[in-house]
Amino acid sequence: MYYPYFDQYFLLLIVPAMIFSLVMQIMVKSAYKRQSRVRNARGITGAMAAQMVLDANGVQGVRIEMTRGKLSDHYDPRTNTIRLSEGVYNAVSVAAVGIAAHEAGHAVQHARKYVPIKVRNTILPVCNIGSMLAVPLMILGFMLDFFGLVTLGLGLYALIVVFQLVTLPVEFNASRRALKAIEGQSMLAGGELAGAKKVLSAAAMTYVAALVVSLANLLRFLLRFSRRR
């Protein structure tokens, strides 16, 4: 096969990146599990926390709904809706407040026309296409010795890396907005606030891990391309 998946670059680049990603996933699940067992003193639910963040920033017209799944919380800019998982929407845990406030932070970004999130939304459609076609195009290009296809695949994959790079300030900014509102509205106190910070920090590192994996893959593709040339 012209493009074997397992090679020296896989061992040197991809394996360490995947281990790092796995560790980050374990950390966020562990932080969520611990803080989901801690009830906040004010008895604020995730849905209440999200609404309080919106109110603190003067943002109106955002719906807050429950969605199925675990850690499936997200903000949908298409419908201007915050969707909170079953373990967050009605929960009164420290983790629920932190996660819900973070998603409300994304809604505030959208309302304030935060530039990085506009850039991310702009390149998202192309990235969706690239995620499906980039690697197949590169493999086909290597097999046919048609480096035009390889170059196209590399370009699409590089755009995915750019998307993940732009995602970092979006996620970190949403967490900062969330924590500012949590402190300003006195939703959590003392150790509770520290617990929420741990959950949000661990979650943010999963996006860093995703970027590291993508960068490792892109570097591997480039090295293979240079070697074949």
118-152 tens-digit pLDDT? 999 899 999 999 889 998 998 888 888 888 898 99
In sequence order, the 6+-apart residues with CB closer than 8 A to the CB of 214 are 157, 160, 161, 164
The answer to whether residues 54 and 73 touch, using CB atoms and an 8 Å cutoff, is no
Per-residue pLDDT band at 169 (split at 50, 70, 90): very high
DSSP H helices, the chain, are: 8-9, 15-35, 46-56, 86-89, 94-111, 115-144, 147-184, 191-228
Q: How far apart are CA 84 and CA 72, in angstroms?
A: 7
Q: Note the pLDDT of residue 228.
A: 67
Catalytic residues, by residue number, are 103
Per-residue pLDDT band at 27 (split at 50, 70, 90): very high
Q: Note the pLDDT of residue 80.
A: 96
Out of 147-156, 170-179, 217-226, the most confident range is 170-179
Per-residue pLDDT band at 225 (split at 50, 70, 90): confident
Give Cα separations from 16 to 21, 29, 96 (angstroms): 9, 20, 32
List residues bridging with 11 in a β-sheet: none
Which of the pair, 65 or 189, is modelled with greater confidence?
A: 65
The answer to whether residues 92 and 43 touch, using CB atoms and an 8 Å cutoff, is yes
Question: Does the structure show a pLDDT above 50 at 155?
Answer: yes
pTM score of the predicted model: 0.89
The answer to whether residues 41 and 86 touch, using CB atoms and an 8 Å cutoff, is no
Which of the pair, 105 or 221, is modelled with greater confidence?
A: 105
Per-residue pLDDT band at 184 (split at 50, 70, 90): very high
Q: Note the pLDDT of residue 6.
A: 59
Q: How far apart are CA 64 and CA 52, in angstroms?
A: 12
Per-residue pLDDT band at 1 (split at 50, 70, 90): very low
Question: Does the structure show a pLDDT above 90 at 3?
Answer: no
Q: How far apart are CA 137 and CA 214, in angstroms?
A: 17
Mean pLDDT of the chain: 92
Q: How far apart are CA 117 and CA 109, in angstroms?
A: 7
Question: Does the structure show a pLDDT above 50 at 164?
Answer: yes
